Structure 1
Amino acid sequence: MPSMNPDGFEATTVHDCYYSEGRFNKNGEDLNRNFPDVFNSNNVTIQPETQAVINWIQNETFVLSANLHGGALVASYTFDNGNPATGSLRGYSRSRDDDVFIHLARTYSSNHASMYKGNECGNKPVFPYGITNGYAWYQLKGGMQDYNYIWGQCFEITLELSCCKYPPASQLQAFWNDNKAALIEYIKQVHLGVKGQVLGRHGQPLPNVIVEAKGREHICPYRTNRHGEYYLLLLPGSYVLNATAPGSGSILKTLLVPNSPENFSALKYDFVFPEVSTLARDASCPTKSLYQDFESISAAVKPTLHFLALVTVLYTVFK
């Protein structure tokens, strides 16, 4: 998607390095404050551009993404908003996958020509290793990266790529040179962790089955798509995966996850349910501000059908 706000960009008349009227669409709305927010009821009118992106996210199985901004030089990761349960009282809003997000942000910054230095913009804050938790930088309600992670089952980071919001076209080649290696290495991280299908005993794909790693239950449970596929970004290590089919119990599986990007493929594991009832779509994702306790959210917490095994795998070691 080249631009989420083409009208705002085209309407801009003053190309100032540090301020842009192009932030707002034709209706005067900031689209990166316009997504549903799980922590606060932000009472915004969803704009057509935002709704188009929401539809896109919900209709495709995105796993890893990045949105590109200007005005700083840093890789920022979720959460942008939060509450005491996520650590907001301590100035940092932590997701259950905080280690993965730090890895993703550092993968980009360390492969960028200068982002890793953390202080290239002079008048901006200093960012150790060129990364920051979004909330630790400043609180943002209704942002795209939180929406993607919570409702879209997609790990997204925000990449601020230029100190000047409107760098001249003559610098485009230099920007490409600075970002090329970082973009490639970031894209490779889509192979982190585990992927597979959930199937019935006759091999039919089962949609809407919750598949999550124990201890990493998401605010909105991650579910298989219409093809029965699931994708979980995880750093190398041992994890217990829990597949929960409504009305049909749960299956547990312990997996040793290797450094999958090196082989350009996540570890593959398929779950098979011997008996399964009709799986209706359960729209259990939140629409209002919730969440003081993550543990009470996911349905994949108390398995009733246990298939526990240990798989030994050669550990080889994108405001």
Structure 2
Amino acid sequence: MFVVSLCLYFGVWVSSARGLEFRYHNSIEVEQYLKTVNRNHPEFTHLHSIGKSVEGRDLWVLILGKHPREHKTGIPEFKYVGNMHGNEVIGRVLLLQLIDHLTKGYLTDPLVTRLLNSTRVHILPSMNPDGFEAADRNCLYSQGRFNKNGVDLNRNFPDAFSSSEEQEPEKEVQAVMNWLNSEAFVLSANLHGGAVVASYPYDNSNGGGELQGGASISPDNDVFIHLAKNYSFTHNSMHKSDSCYDSLSFTDGITNGYHWYRLPGGMQDYNYVWHQCLEITLELSCCKYPPERELPGLWQDNKAALLAYMQQVHLGVKGQVMDSNGNPLPNAVVEVEGRHNLCPFRTDRNGEYYRLLLPGKYTIKVVFPGHKTHIESISVPYGPDKFSALTHNIYLQRSDSNTVNSVTQPAPLCTSQVLNSKENSGRALLPAHLTVILALAIHRLLW
């Protein structure tokens, strides 16, 4: 066993030194590779497991950035997630290649260096390692899509629109949910295969006001379209709308998720609704399990797009909400006029807020108990070119009454916002979902 482990270690070390091989690495090899990267670059990487799969495999996340071990004020958190369907393997390969590119380019490649100095990047190459290990190499019909319990992980998250009874989250899903509670992610993408398109929220609808022209439209629809097009037009061919032989043709290589097909319990809607993290789904290959000879070309198709999408975390405006003495105010509601999110965007534990917005003029409203409501108009420039959103700190004045324990009392629960939000959802969430939403809201408040 020692000899096998030594050979694996040596093989990964050589691969790391010369460039990661374009092939499918099994879970042991991926783990060894990530540990080698972290060992070789401790100054700007940090490796940790966010949990385990049903069969006990670690869900490894590599963090890259100037301050990889902890969040720094003003530095947005970004993530990529791959291989949540175990037989859709291209995301797993591309994210390992991305890690290889970032680690080699830091302090030598200007784009990579600016990205990692201005962003804390989290990469989960495989959310479903059990499914990957069970998959065969059939292009479209290989087994391994589900986890070891036979569950589709992209149908297992709480859903703001679903009326079905809640399932117990799978171990892999619960690990991601806990991960989202531990980091205030701003932007994300999850990588799939089986089509070539960038899909954006919502994936689901309950037939309310969000349903428009066959699409389920979120309050940040303009930003989501921009993000999807940013990827599709930077990709070598996605924007050309060339359909796979068994799928639709997508104008500009993008689609609203619900307009494509209804997907309850999806990860991207969960990220957006409950964790104010804008996430899109990237379908990156017609074949779910492409032949290894195609992997170098697929990397070249996606390399620039993966980097450009990361840079979009610097859209819009960011800052801290503080009291008149400069103390950060966590859990303050930060609303943008005309964007009635199902769960209002709130400041994190450091009083920070991030709002991804396209260039333009916006009215910002900030509410915190015991303080005067703050309303102001701001002009937002295009931040990604400068690797920083507009920084705008907001100071709240205490109100004349009802100031007792104002710092510790939360703003109104997300639950009431969702249940009463007829403008966005058309009708209240159905009772089967009430318990889950209450639990999530209480969990976030305790966090």
Question: What TM-score, normalized by structure 1, do the two folds share?
Answer: 0.88
* Corresponding residue number in structure 1 for 2:422: 292
Q: Return the letter of the residue paired with 1:103.
A: H
Cross-structure match for 2:393: 270
> Which runs of no fewer than 5 residues in structure 1 stay unpaired?
298-319
Distance 1:11 1:88, change over 3 A: same
Gaps of 5+ in 2: 1-123, 428-447
Render the CA deviation track for 1:109-149: whole Å, top value 9, x for unaligned.
Answer: 00101111112412210100000000000000000000000
Correspondence for 2:162 among 33, 40, 55: 40
On the 8 A contact 2:208/2:425 being kept in 1, the answer is: no
Q: Which residue pairs with 2:142 in the alignment?
A: 20
For residues 4-153 of structure 1, the aligned pairs below 5 Å read: 4-12=127-135, 14-42=136-164, 43-88=166-211, 90-153=213-276
Alignment partner of 2:208: what SS? helix
Does structure 2 conserve the Cα–Cα contact (< 8 Å) formed by 1:245 and 1:279?
no
| 2:281 matches 1:170 | no
Give the secondary structure class of the aligned counterpart of 1:203.
Answer: coil
Matched, 1:254 2:384: no
> Partners in 1 of 2:316 and 2:297 — Cα distance?
33
SS of the residue 2:346 aligns to:
coil
Higher relative contact order (CA 8 A, sep 6+): 1
SS in structure 1 of the partner of residue 422 of structure 2: coil
Q: Indicate if the aligned counterparts of 2:243 and 2:250 stay in contact, CA closer than 8 A.
A: no
Closer, same or farther in 2 for the Cα pair 1:152/1:91, shift >3 Å? Answer: same
CA distance in 1, matches of 2:328, 2:426: 28
Q: Return the alpha-carbon distance in structure 1 between the equivalents of residues 210 and 426 of structure 2.
A: 17
CA contact (8 A) 1:207 1:224 kept: yes
Partner of 1:307: none
State the Cα distance separating 1:59 from its structure 2 match: 1.3
Looking at secondary structure, tell me which structure has more helix per residue: 2
Q: In the alignment, is residue 235 of structure 1 matched against residue 358 of structure 2?
A: yes
Structure 1 CA distance, aligned partners of 2:389 and 2:348?
17
Identify the residue that residue 41 of structure 2 maps to in structure 1. none
> Tell me, what secondary structure is at the counterpart of 2:144?
helix
Bigger Cα displacement from structure 2, 224-233 vs 198-207: 198-207
Match of 2:279? 156
Q: Distance in 1 between matches of 2:416 and 2:395?
A: 32
- Which amino acid letter does the alignment assign opposite residue 145 of structure 2? R
* Matching residue of 1:244: 367
| DSSP 3-state at the match of 1:171 | helix
Q: If you compute each CA radius of gyration, which structure gives the higher value, 1 or 2?
A: 2
| Runs of 4+ residues deviating >4 angstroms | 287-291
Please give the alpha-carbon distance, in whole angstroms, between the structure 1 residues aligned to 2:303 and 2:146.
29
Q: 1:280 to 1:41 in 2, by over 3 A?
A: farther
Which 10-residue stretch deviates more, 86-95 or 109-118?
86-95
Matched residue SS, 2:173: helix
Structure 1 residue 289, shift from structure 2 partner: 8.3
Amino acid at match of 2:156: N
Contact kept? 1:244, 1:250, Cα under 8 Å = yes
**Rounded Cα–Cα distance in structure 1 between residues aligned with 2:212 and 2:374:** 37
Give 2:379's aligned amino acid: L
Are 1:280 and 2:381 an aligned pair?
no
Give the Å deviation of 1:283: 7.6
Q: Does the 8 A contact of 2:371 with 2:397 survive in 1?
A: no
Distance 1:289-1:230 versus aligned 2 partners, 3 A rule: closer
When residues 91 and 295 of structure 1 are mapped into structure 2, their CA distance, relative to the original with a 3 A threshold, is closer
Query: How far apart, in 1, do the equivalents of 2:250 and 2:242 lie?
Result: 6
Q: 1:295 deviation in Å? A: 9.2
Between the aligned partners of 2:356 and 2:209, the Cα distance in structure 1 is 20
CA distance in 2, matches of 1:181, 1:68: 15
Task: State the AA in 1 paired with 2:270.
Answer: Y
Find the aligned partners of 2:423 and 2:149 in 1 and give their Cα distance: 37
Measure how far apart 1:201 and its partner are. 1.4
Residue 89 of structure 1: CA displacement? 6.3
Number of aligned residue pairs: give it: 296
Secondary structure class of the residue paired with 1:129:
helix
Cα distance, 1:281 vs structure 2: 4.0
Distance 1:74 1:181 in 2: 16
- 1:287–1:138 Cα change, 3 Å: farther
**TM-fit CA distance, 1:16:** 1.7
Paired-residue identity, %: 55
Q: Is the 8 A contact 2:372 2:397 kept in 1?
A: no
